[in-house]
Structure 1
C-alpha cells in the first residue's frame, strides 16, 4: 500500500499506556453521559416552563451550544472560563465540557419526546382520576423512556467519539495516548488504525444496543 508497512509491534511495548488511555476514555464518556443527563433533562423541562426568563435562558443555552463547534467550546472553556474559575484538572474540565455540549442535545431529545406524547392521553388520565404524580409515573415516564432510550444510547456513542477532541488540551485519553506514541515511533499508519479499531470496540456495541432498543420499542408501539 504505497510503500506503507503495517506494523503493530508497538502494542506490546505500550500496552499499559494504551490500556490507561482506553480506560480514561471510558471513564470520561460515562461521567459525561451522567452529567449531561443531569443538565439536559432540566433544560428540556425549562424550555416548556411558564416563566419566560427560564424558557429563554434554556433556549439560548441549547442554541449556543448546538450552533458552535465542540472544538471552539473546548478552547473557550478551558483557556478562558476554566482559568477564571480555577479549574486546573484537565480531566474534570473535559467532563464539564463534554457534559455541557452533550446536555444541549439530550435536552432536545427529551423535549422532542415530551412534545410527541398525545395530549389526549393526559386528558384521559385526568378523566379517570389520576393525580399529576400518577399521570407522570404511569403515562408520561413509560413513553418518555421508550422514545428517548434509543436516541440517548446513540448519544452515548457520540460522546465517546467526541472525547477524542479533548486531546487538544492534552487530556491523556485514547487519542492523545496514540498521538504521543506515534510521535515517538513514527508509526502513524499503524497507530491511528489501531486507534480507529479501539473506538469501534467502544461504539459498535453501543450502536448495536441502540438498534435493539429501537426495534423493541417500535414493536411495542405497533402492538
Structure 2
C-alpha cells in the first residue's frame, strides 16, 4: 500500500514537472489534468493544451514584449524544440484563434542538464510583433508555445492577451523575479544540411533505356511516353 502510494506520488510529480507553464503573460489556466477525457494528459492536445479561450487577458504592447515560461520536461528527453506562435483570428471552436501559423521568434533547441524531469524558467525579454500583422490597440490575440519532444510528440500551452499601446499603465511591470533564465539551460540553433546526390550518366550504348530513364527520374519528370518519343526521334 505504501509502495503504491509512493509510486502515485512520483508519477504525479513527473506529470507536473513535464508540462509548460506560462508565467508571463498569464496562462489560460490549469492544464495539468489527466482524466478520462485526457488519459495521456491535457497538454498534448492542439492548439492550447485542452483549454478553451480565457476571459482573463493580459495587457501586452502592440510592438511586442516579454515572455516567460517554465518548459517543464519529461523523463527520458533532455532536449526539445521550441516554437512560439501567435493567433489573431476568431475562427476556433471556442471563439479564439484557429490559425497559429505566425511565428513570433525563430524556433530553437532547448538543452537540459539531465535526462529526467526538472524545474526551470525561460525569459524572452523583447519579443517583437511582426509589423505586417497590422496590430492595433484593442486587438485580441493568443500566444502559443509548442514544445516538440525528442520522440516527436508535442506539448501545447497558450496565453490570451489584449494589445495596448507601449507604455500603457495597464501593462504589468516586468522585473527579474518575473522574467529570468535558469542557468542550467543550454540553447542551440535548428538547422538542416542540404545534400544533393550527383548524377551519373551511364554510357547509352551499354545500358540504353535504363540510362535515359535514370536521367529523367533524377530530374523528377519521368514520363514513359516522353521517353519513348525521345528514343524514336
TM-score band, normalised by shorter chain: under 0.3
Q: Which has the larger radius of gyration?
A: 2
Taking structure 1 as the reference length, the TM-score comes to: 0.26
Greater relative CO (CA pairs within 8 A, separation 6+): 1
More strand by share: 2
More helix by share: 1
